């Protein structure tokens, strides 16, 4: 019997749905990029749907970070890991507050744009736990939103037609991008819910059967059959690790001998 599987996000949002069942919106996705690092835009928050004032003081929890998208610009020059002015091929591709990413030799640095002057960006280096990289020029610059787990509070609302914008404090690490998932926590701080879920998950146990053995590879944990020798009085005994039939763990040792129309199979179990 397989164990049920889920994610912390699914569990947290299910709990939210119960705790905040009287609220119309608990989990949503931005419908446009934020104007800055202190704003979030979502048409689901429009006045035609709910009364805006209920959102003041509500926690915003970033639940998804959409994949980075190309800005259309590349790096100019060869900035090292400490410079905070980044020359790019086309400055108008960016907006203050943008999260940007540059990858060099499989290492991705995330930065925040704080100012734009022609084709020069003023940036904060190595945000969201990333590592600064030295660039050589022509690297692609991608756009990225806040990281999963960032938390802020709605301090003001601004409704216009069918589009709703909320003001956040403190600021996010970057302005939100369109399609960014977020959660509304109306009373409990999101970290308290995450801690409670972690505590419950830590108490769950799964039995693991590990045989005690002094025989080399007696628990079948080693890949291959080099620790075993097949012998028989007829035919050609063949050894193999079998992952299709076993009682515990995830593989066993099979011994097959087809000589003299005999078929023998012995299984020793490997714990998972």
Write the pLDDT tens digit of every residue in 144-157: 999 999 999 999 88
79 near 137, Cβ under 8 Å?
no
Confidence label for 264 from pLDDT (cuts 50, 70 and 90): very low
Q: What is the pLDDT of residue 266?
A: 47
- Sign of the alpha-carbon dihedral angle for 198, 203, 208, 211: positive
> CA-CA distance, 68 to 144, in Å (whole number)?
5
> CA-CA distance, 145 to 174, in Å (whole number)?
6
Say if residue 262's pLDDT is above 50.
no
77 near 137, Cβ under 8 Å?
yes
Indicate the Cα dihedral angle 235, 236, 239, 243, nearest 10°.
Answer: -60
> CA-CA distance, 161 to 103, in Å (whole number)?
40
Tell me the DSSP string of 220-250. S-SSSSTT-----SSS--EEEEESSS-SSBS
Q: What is the pLDDT of residue 41?
A: 93
Say if residue 265's pLDDT is above 50.
no
Q: What is the pLDDT of residue 152?
A: 97
- Residue range 161-182, pLDDT digits in tens: 566 889 999 999 999 999 999 9
Count the Cβ atoms, other than its own, within 10 Å of residue 154: 20
pTM assigned to the model: 0.73
- Residue range 70-120, pLDDT digits in tens: 999 999 999 999 999 999 999 999 999 999 999 999 999 999 999 999 999
Say if residue 192's pLDDT is above 60.
yes
Packing angle, helices 190-203 and 8-19, rounded to 10? 120
Confidence label for 257 from pLDDT (cuts 50, 70 and 90): confident
Residue 4 zone, left/alpha/beta (φ > 0; ψ -120 to 50; rest): beta
> CA-CA distance, 144 to 180, in Å (whole number)?
10
């Amino acid at each position: 019997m397989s164990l049920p599987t889920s994610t912390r996000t699914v569990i947290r949002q299910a709990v939210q749905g119960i705790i905040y069942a009287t609220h119309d919106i608990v989990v949503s996705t931005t419908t446009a990029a934020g104007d800055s690092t202190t704003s979030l835009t979502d048409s689901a928050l429009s006045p035609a749907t709910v009364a805006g004032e209920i959102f003041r003081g509500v926690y915003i929890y970033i639940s998804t970070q959409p994949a980075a998208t190309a800005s259309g610009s590349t790096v100019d020059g060869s900035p090292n890991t400490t410079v905070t002015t980044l020359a790019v091929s086309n400055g108008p591709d960016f907006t203050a507050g943008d999260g940007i990413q540059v990858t060099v030799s499989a290492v991705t640095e995330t930065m925040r744009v704080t100012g734009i002057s022609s084709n020069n960006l003023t940036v904060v280096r190595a945000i969201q736990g990333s590592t600064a990289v030295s660039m050589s020029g022509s690297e692609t610059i991608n756009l990225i939103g806040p990281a999963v787990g960032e938390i802020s509070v709605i301090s003001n609302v601004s409704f216009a037609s069918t589009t709703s914008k909320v003001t956040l404090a403190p600021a996010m690490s970057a302005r939100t991008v369109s399609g960014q998932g977020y959660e509304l926590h109306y009373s409990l701080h999101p970290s308290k819910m995450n801690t409670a879920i972690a505590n419950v998950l830590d108490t769950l146990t799964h039995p693991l059967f590990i045989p005690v053995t002094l025989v080399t590879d007696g628990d079948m944990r080693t890949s291959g059959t080099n620790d075993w020798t097949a012998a028989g009085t007829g035919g050609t005994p063949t050894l193999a690790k079998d992952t299709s039939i076993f009682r515990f763990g995830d593989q066993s040792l099979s011994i097959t001998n087809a000589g003299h129309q005999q078929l023998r199979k012995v299984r020793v179990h490997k714990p998972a």
